[in-house]
Amino acid sequence: MSNLTDKMMDKNARIAELLKKRGIKTKVNNDITKRTGNGPCSLSFGQQRLWYMDQLTPNQSVYNLPSAFILNGSLDFVRLKDSIKQVIKRHESLRTRFEIIENIPMQVIDAEVDLNITLEEFEHQSDSEQDSKLFNYLSQLASQPFDLNNDLLIRSHVLKFSDQHHLLFLMTHHIISDGASMTNLINEIACFYSAGDSNDENKKTLKIDDLSVQYADYTVWQNDFLSGSELERELSYWRNIFKKPIPTLNLTTDYSRPPTQSYDGKTRFFKLHSGLTKSIETVAKQTDSSVYIILLTALKILFSRYAEQDDIVIGTLVRNRPKKQLEPLIGFFANTLAIRTELEPDKSVKHTINQVRNNVLDAQKHQALPFEKLVAELNIERDFSRTPLFQILMGYQHVSERSVKTNSLSFNHQSVPANSSKTDLAFFFSQDNDNISLEITYCTALFKQQSVDNLYANFIVLLESMMVSEQTPVNQLEILSSYDRETCRSDDYVLPEKNISSVLELFANVVKQKADSPSILFCDNETSYRQLDEQSNQLAHFLIKQGVKKGELIGLCLGRGERLLVCILAIFKAGCAYLPLDPEFPEDRLDFMLEDSGVSLVLTENLLIEKLSNLSSDQKFSSLCLDYFSSEIEKESPEPLAPNCNESDLAYVIYTSGSTGKPKGVEIEHRALAHFLQQMALKPGILNTDKVLLITTFSFDISILEMLLPLSVGATCVIADDKAVYDGQELINLLERAGVTLMQATPSLWRLLLISGWQGNQNLKALSGGEALSQELAEKLMTIVGSLWNMYGPTETTIWSSCVEIIDAKKNISIGKAIGDTQLFCLDSFMRQTPIGVPGELYISGRGLARGYLKRPELTKQRFIEGLNIDGVTYRAYRTGDQVKFTHEGELECLGRLDSQVKLRGHRIELGEIENVLAGHESITQAAARIFQMSEDDLRLVAYYVPESDSPQPTNTELRRFLTQSLPEYMIPQFFVSITELPRTVNGKLDRLALPDPRSGTLINDDNLVAPESEAEIEVAKIWNDALGHDDPLSVSDNFFIVGGHSMLAVSVIAKIETVTGIRVEPMLMATGTLGQIAKQITNLQPLSVESLENSKTSFVGKLKSWLQR
């Protein structure tokens, strides 16, 4: 193939015919005359850009124009050499170099040049070996750069395969040639070759007329012509086309786009089947267009679907030889037209073809304006990572234009592989009778070959769909190839032998088989399965006697320990569901949850009864203290209750963050919970000998795996006590002492373990979920654990919906494939499946779907889609709001959120909830929030606010205390930044990405700040500021977490203090103490007592659990 730009000419005579029918004429009437003298000449507009690009990136082959021709017949090599030299002598452009004269680049035309044409024997091999070798050889020739200042800008090589079979390789630099020029070049070589053959009957038909002008004459004419009113006429048209913001094609790439555009490329060759070609020609006639227009329309629709945008600009090259005098010349005339089309997806194929045709015909009228001039005129903010205006290039030509015959020799065009790409993707179509060939050149710094092959397959499906009916709406056209459909199917799983209706069935089977085996290990105390079963039976009997009814929702407000599992099983056995009420939640949040859920009974214990009694909820509920009624409960029968749990019954309600400012309750039924446990037992898999760590707070749904998965298979649930939750070293000790073999945690907690010095365990199966797992963390974990699994799933689809074992951490970390009886769909805004590699929103269907949101029918209807039609099958699906894409392995990669929801240390946080609460402060008019990445593994929650103009600005401490009344600790921002106004997009929406770096914002501190004075206080303050990422003044009364710290930072600060001072600060002190107290410990070389901390007015012992266990 010649380089794509070499051939991307709109050669379709149908276009010219259409222009003529519409009465369109180009206003180019003045003839080109010969310039005075033959000295140096200025550059044409096109040449100026190529010369400039060559200066920026010298020794590049990106603007080489290689062509190859198979020579069949008896070759006279000397005559061929002479023929090429005669063409060079005839065209000044082929003898042109480029020199800087008086600081200006000029064309310098040499009177005589010496072209060295080589003849090389190419040994005969098998067809496949020879094709491969020839491909590589031509690629090497095509990649050799030119020196514009010194080199002859045309090269030629001849390869001999046999006496009757040769290959002629010709290559010029684009600055002196273009696609039409290469056609002229080979025609003239054939003419001169034929003229030297006395027996050639084709001499007359191959006659060469004298040239009336040369390329330098055109250059002078162009510079004169494109001035004044003519230039303004051309500019006016193009300014109007691009008066709206210029769209950037949001094409997802396989590799991150380099900051500076890469020109490395490769080419793939394809051929459309003859039936499709005939259909395209038929539709072209029916729509009064052309094959070129049909193909361009298809490309626009294809990339509209791939990028999910309607405003599409594709570049296409035109001959741009407005005068007949220019037709026989060799030179750089070709111009690039940026064809812009604002597609209307609900309109028909016919309408869209007509729309594109009109776009092309209008652009053709104004093709004289050089592309370089247009770019300069539009004053586009230069993005050096891509070409201006468009990233897709398209061209079309008839192959016969590049083939010629003499009496003794035929010159048949041969494709040359490109090793460079000027755009992200370029499509060149060649038509030869009923055959259309397609060469796709792609930037290898952006795309894999597999993605390009898949793009072609989908393009063919789209074309075939367009041919079915001209009246089909564009948004209903098929695009997915069979490969895509097969790869994206969610059936790569093993189903259990039978579906279980509830976890109680699984638990009962275990009790029968392993009654005396340990079910729970807590603080070195074991509870057997028999004991757990009997205790939960007794509590269930007691609850029924207290009047609980089947289907009732019962609140649980408990600390850590085996009692939690006893209560959950008892509630299930009583035919009820449970609602976790985290005792560390603020009172306002607990009040709302009680009122919203309508809970009338809450099970609690001595340590928490006072907290419940202090709630101001209007909801009337009873607190049942299990400690108080323990003796009565123990008197109940330990015998099993009659089955009272159906698969459609409610199992639990988990409240998650809500964008309206209030949390929402997710209702999960027993069938979904049982299905989840069965699937987890299969993959990632669990043995009845495993020991599973329970470390997650029970208000977080992933705790259900840690609690109930081991009980469903006969394994042991190892419950972490408070010490292990907030002290990394204690957690490490527990893992080793208890022999934990399966642990689930967020990436944040895994990092915490590593920072704390955990060396790993080759017998441990590690599950990571709740937030993105980085490649760096995955690599570290893989080397120290038995196996590492990445888990994904929203609360609304019952904990985890997909999983994958990480085998190669150097690859992008995916979220894997669907678990059993679950379907994952990647859909665009029209709810159509997206191709592999194309982002869309994740919809999840299957047995794990929640019933909906408690007492929120409208929200349920909005998020749980009924009647989703995929390939003729109807599904009920949950709309996750997560942006994903399928890989060629059929796995999903998570790309982030489509809304304002974020994941931080495992928690799902609606930024809107924080914003609504913060905006309720009396001194604030507007508020916004975002996640800010301080470093790869350090994410911070940041709040921005616009203060009331006539009110004093609130301090950071005041704002934290205000939010703490309504939001849990994990939703309290680490930074508060005061700004004059919130940044907005052109559509008036909040532009979160434009919110400033919090480290450079205005952070308001307390007026009564007591600055560090002692050496220890100053050192601790410096370490804190380094970790927090700012230099704001700290007070000796500050608590690390209150000034923006979190668990990961706390561990690093403890390590830093120990390195600097030799004193290890206790995690309890770090979380509950002040800067002054920590400095005092360092000075006294002894820790403060826990009792003094608990009595401190800044006691945060309870909150510490919430901070660290995430």
Read off the tokens for 687.
Answer: 């043995």
Q: Is residue 424 part of a domain?
A: yes
In 3D space, the residue among 559, 616, 560 whose CA is nearest the CA of residue 587 turns out to be: 616
Please state, in angstroms and rounded to a whole number, the distance separating the CA atoms of residues 833 and 856: 29
Q: Choose from 403-417, 766-780, 1095-1109 the range with maximum mean pLDDT.
A: 766-780
Predicted confidence band of residue 1087 (pLDDT cuts 50, 70, 90): very low
- Give domain status of residue 388, yes or no: yes
Residue 23 has pLDDT above 50, yes or no: no
Q: What is the pLDDT of residues 132-179, one digit of tens each?
A: 888 888 889 999 999 999 999 999 999 999 999 999 999 999 999 998
In-domain check, residue 427: yes
Query: What digits encode the pLDDT tens for the residues 919-960?
Result: 888 888 888 898 888 766 677 889 999 888 878 888 888 888
| Closest alpha carbon to 834 in 330, 442, 304 | 304
- For residues 547 and 653, state if they share a domain: yes
Count H helices and E strands in the chain, helices first.
35, 40
pLDDT of 1103 higher than 60? no
**pLDDT of amino acid 284:** 96
Q: Is the pLDDT of residue 1093 over 50?
A: no
Residues 6+ positions from 115 with CB-CB distance below 8 Å: 84, 85, 88, 152, 154, 155, 156
Q: Can you give the CATH number for the domain in which 287 is found?
A: 3.30.559.30
In whole angstroms, how far apart are CA 1005 and each of 585, 978, 979, 1032, 1041?
Answer: 26, 12, 15, 8, 15
| Weakest mean pLDDT among 95-109, 216-230, 964-978 | 964-978
Q: Which helix (H) or strand (E) holds 544?
A: helix 529-545
Ordered alpha helix ranges (H), 816-937: 857-863, 911-919
CB atoms within 10 A of CB 322: 19
What span, in angstroms and rounded, lies between the C-alpha atoms of 818 and 683? 10
The CATH number for 202's domain is 3.30.559.10
User: With 90 as the cut, is the pLDDT of residue 1086 above it?
Assistant: no
In a domain? residue 649: yes
Q: How far apart are CA 532 and CA 513, in angstroms?
A: 14
d(C-alpha 418, C-alpha 4), whole Å:
8
Domain boundary among 868, 896, 924: 896
The dihedrals phi and psi of 584, each to the nearest 5 degrees, come to -90, -5
Question: Please, what is the average pLDDT of the chain?
Answer: 87
Shared-domain flag, residues 261 and 324: yes
Interhelix angle 503-513/703-713, rounded to 10 degrees, is 40
Is 455 in the same domain as 393?
Answer: yes
If you average pLDDT over residues 87-111, what whole number do you get?
95
Q: Which residues pair with 903 in a beta bridge?
A: 908
169 falls within a domain: yes
Q: Do the domain assignments include residue 606? A: yes
pLDDT, tens only, 661-692: 688 999 999 999 999 999 999 999 999 999 99
Among residues 190, 216, 242, the one where a domain terminates is 216
Q: What is the pLDDT of residues 426-453, one digit of tens each?
A: 999 998 878 899 999 999 999 999 999 9
pLDDT of res. 1045: 76
Contact 529, 732 (CB under 8 A): no
726-748 per-position pLDDT tens digit:
788 899 999 999 999 999 998 88
Task: Please state, in angstroms and rounded to a whole number, the distance separating the CA atoms of residues 464 and 164.
Answer: 41
Judge if 433 and 348 occupy the same domain. Answer: yes
User: Measured between alpha carbons, how far is 717 from 706 in angstroms, rounded to an integer?
Assistant: 7
Residue 199: predicted pLDDT: 58
Q: Is the dihedral of CA 718, 719, 724, 725 positive or negative?
A: positive
CA distance 82 to 932: 68
The answer to whether 395 and 315 are in contact (CB under 8 A) is: no
Q: What are the C-alpha distances in Å from 1103 to residues 703, 1108, 1109?
A: 18, 9, 10
Pick the closest to residue 59 from 144, 153, 139, 174 (CA basis).
144
Residues 690 and 693: their CA atoms lie apart, in Å, by 10
List Cβ neighbours of 1098 (8 Å cut-off, separation of 6 or more). 1037, 1039, 1042, 1072, 1073, 1074
Return the SS3 of 252.
coil
Residue 1094 has pLDDT above 70, yes or no: no
Q: Is the pLDDT of residue 5 over 50?
A: no
CA angle, residues 286, 343, 361, in degrees to nearest 5: 55
Q: Is 1101 exposed, middle or buried (0-12, 13-18, 19+ CB in 10 A)?
A: middle
| Separation between Cα atoms, residue 745 and residue 748, nearest integer Å | 8
Taking the C-alpha atoms of residue 1068 and residue 375, their distance in angstroms, rounded to an integer, is 62
Phi, psi for residue 733 in degrees, rounded to 5? -60, -40
Task: Specify the pLDDT at position 505.
Answer: 95
Give the integer Cα–Cα distance in Å for 985 and 201: 70
pLDDT category of residue 128 using cuts at 50, 70 and 90: low
- What are the distances in angstroms from CA 21 to CA 324, 337, 645? 20, 21, 78
Same-domain check for residues 888 and 845:
yes
Q: Same domain for 228 and 296?
A: yes
Please check whether residue 443 is in contact with residue 424, taking contact to mean a CB–CB distance below 8 angstroms: yes
- Does residue 731 sit within a domain? no
- The first and second tokens of residue 268, run together, are 């793939």
Q: Which amino acid is at 83?
A: S
> Does the structure show a pLDDT above 90 at 762?
yes
Which one, of 571, 519, 518, lies nearest residue 541 by Cα?
571
User: Each residue of 29-70: pLDDT tens digit?
Assistant: 578 999 988 899 999 999 998 998 888 888 888 999 999 999
Q: Which of 433, 515, 836, 503 is nearest to 649 (CA)?
A: 503
Q: What is the mean pLDDT of residues 1039-1062?
A: 80
User: What does the pLDDT average to over 394-405?
Assistant: 76
> pLDDT tens, 512-552?
999 999 999 999 999 999 999 999 999 999 999 999 999 99
Q: Rounded to an integer, what distance in angstroms lies between the CA atom of residue 378 and that of residue 372? A: 10
Q: Is the pLDDT of residue 7 over 60?
A: no
What is the mean pLDDT of the segment spanning 715-734?
A: 91
Q: What phi and psi, each to the nearest 5 degrees, are found at residue 996?
A: -70, 160
What pairs with residue 67 in β-bridges?
170
Do 168 and 282 fall into the same domain? no
CA distance 570 to 1021: 50
How far apart CA 980 and CA 102 sit, in angstroms, is 52
Both structure tokens of 432: 């030869």
Number of domains in the chain: 6
Element (H, E) at 707: helix 703-713
pLDDT band with cut points at 50, 70 and 90 for residue 616? confident
920 with 953, same domain: the answer is: yes
Distance CA 569, CA 556 (A): 12
> What's the chain's Rg over C-alpha atoms?
37
Classify each residue of 446-468 as buried b or exposed e, where b means 16 or more C-beta atoms within 10 Å of its C-beta.
bbeeebbbbbbbbbbbbbbbbbe
Tokens 């070959």 belong to 449
pTM comes to: 0.80
**Based on the domain organization, do 828 and 750 belong to the same domain?**
yes
Strands 691-694 and 716-719: parallel
User: Which CATH number characterizes residue 1020's domain?
Assistant: 1.10.1200.10
Residue 957 and residue 882 in one domain: no
SS3 state at 136: helix
Q: Specify the CATH number for the domain of residue 867.
A: 3.40.50.12780
Rounded CA separation 357/296 (Å): 9
Residues 755 and 818 in one domain: yes
The last residue of one of the domains, among 896, 918, 933, is 896
Residue 758 has pLDDT above 70, yes or no: yes
Domain check: are 606 and 702 in the same one?
yes
Whole-Å CA distances, 623 to 387, 600, 715, 779, 929: 68, 9, 32, 48, 37
CATH number at 947 reads 3.30.300.30
pLDDT tier at 605, thresholds 50, 70, 90: very high
Burial class (CB in 10 A: 0-12, 13-18, 19+), 154: buried
Question: 3-class DSSP state for residue 204?
Answer: coil
Query: Residue 392: inside a domain, yes or no?
Result: yes
Q: What angle is formed at CA 235 by the lines to CA 232 and CA 239, rounded to 5 degrees?
A: 135
Q: Which domain holds residue 996?
A: 901-1000
pLDDT > 60? residue 6: no
Which pLDDT belongs to residue 809? 87
Could you tell me the maximum CA-CA distance found in the chain, to the nearest angstrom? 121
Q: Residue 407 is encoded by which pair of tokens?
A: 């009496």
Residue 909 Cα to chain centre, angstroms: 20
CA distance 58 to 332: 19
Tell me the pairing of strands 392-398 and 335-342: unpaired
How many C-beta atoms surround the C-beta of residue 763 within 10 A? 13
